[in-house]
Structure 1
Amino acid sequence: MTTTYAALLRGINVGGNRKVPMAELRVLVEGLGHTGVRTHLQSGQAVFTADHGDEESLAAGLERAIAERFGFAVDVIVRSHAYLRAIAEACPFPAAELEAKQLHVTYFSAPVEAARFAEIDQAAFRPEEFRLGDRALYLYAPNGLGRSRLAEALARPRVNKGLIATTRNWNTVVKLVEMTGEAAG
């Protein structure tokens, strides 16, 4: 049985560093035996179908291939269409009423407990706020991610210790659901 996935690459093509051209990424993913490969934006999203493996093994295979091809390590999170759709549907904020720059999802490599974020006093960051989901964190930042003090606090190494975390704005969240849905359907 084939499953459609999105690979989320962390920290590529930012400020001219760690360049991974999307055309080369598509060739690399196809070279791993995956089909229906498409990319979205330059910030590192690839959609593909696979008939073997699970999210963790697919991510590890992509990480190895990227390191071999480009000469640097890139963290990768792979998630299925069903998961991506469930995350979008479970959004605790009124996504349809917000600008895409105001709403973000941080995808984590593993489940996270609320205790990990206990040191963050959410009231001190209002009107910004976050809520936890299934291996994800929803962030409402009314002035955008670049100006978000809460996003900065959430990105602290001690908060994310032992996890891969990568954030996407709501437009990208929705687009990945669409792209993986088209490939799955």
Structure 2
Amino acid sequence: MTTYAALLRGINVGGHRKVPMAELRRLIEGLGHGDVRTHLQSGNAVFSVVGRNAAGVTTESLAASLGEAVEEHFGFTVPVLVRDHAYLRAVVEDCPFPTAGLEGRQLHVTYLSEPVDADRFAALDRSAFLPDEFRIGDRALYLYVPDGLGRSRLAEALGRPALWRDTVATSRNWNTVTRLVEMTRD
């Protein structure tokens, strides 16, 4: 049995693209997955894949089937990333910022569908955004914003669609990042 987290991008924000968590859980169960749980209303679902359903499964195939099911059921497209416990744990362990004493709103991880390199951000003058900082990880971008995301000019600059060229990106605060590690523990 392997436990995964599905990260749905941009649902239940400002009354748009509403996906009730109870319906999402039923939808995932309908795909043949077990132990389905959700966290918050922002598109975090945890589920297990067992038996013959696990044969040949990849995080990409799981994301694609869930994305298709969401579109069929709710009538709109939602980008979906799926990650297993080992990856989620590695993201926490590899965090380049000290996490002790931080509030969840001060540190965020943007999960990415593919690796990115520093060249993508070459046009950003990082020193102009201090004390806000970011670092690149394995299909993840770590964003440290001591005054919170809502006040961060760096977060705004990093949110520009041109930076992400065909890359699915969805962010979670540090509290959610660590909670997903706990929830996916086998």
Q: TM-score range by the shorter chain?
A: over 0.9
User: 1:26 deviation in Å?
Assistant: 0.3
Alignment of 1:1-185 (within 5 A): 2-50=1-49, 51-52=54-55, 53-181=57-185, 184=186
- 75-84 or 45-54: which moved more? 45-54
Q: Counterparts of 1:93 and 1:99 in 2: how far apart (Å)?
A: 13
Query: How many residues in Structure 1 have an aligned counterpart in Structure 2?
Result: 181
Q: Equivalent pairs: percent with the same residue?
A: 69
> C-alpha distance in 1, partners of 2:116/2:21?
30
Structure 2 unaligned residues grouped into runs of 5+ = none
* Amino acid in structure 1 at the alignment position of 2:87: Y
Normalised TM-score (structure 1): 0.96
In 2, the alpha carbon distance for the partners of 1:110 and 1:13 equals 25
Structure 2-normalised TM-score?
A: 0.96
Gapped runs of 5+ residues in structure 1? none
Letter in 1 for 2:162: R
The C-alpha deviation readout for 1:14-50, integer Å capped at 9, x for no partner, is 1111000000000000100111100000000000111
Structure 1 runs (4+) greater than 6 angstroms displaced: none
Give the counterpart letter for 2:42 in structure 1. S
Distance 2:10 2:110 in 1: 13
CA distance, structure 2, for counterparts of residue 131 and residue 7 of structure 1: 23
> How far apart are 1:113 and its partner, in Å?
1.2
CA offset at residue 97 of structure 1?
A: 2.2
User: RMSD in angstroms over aligned alpha carbons?
Assistant: 0.7
Once residues 109 and 74 of structure 2 are traced to their aligned partners in structure 1, the CA distance between those partners, rounded to angstroms, is 27
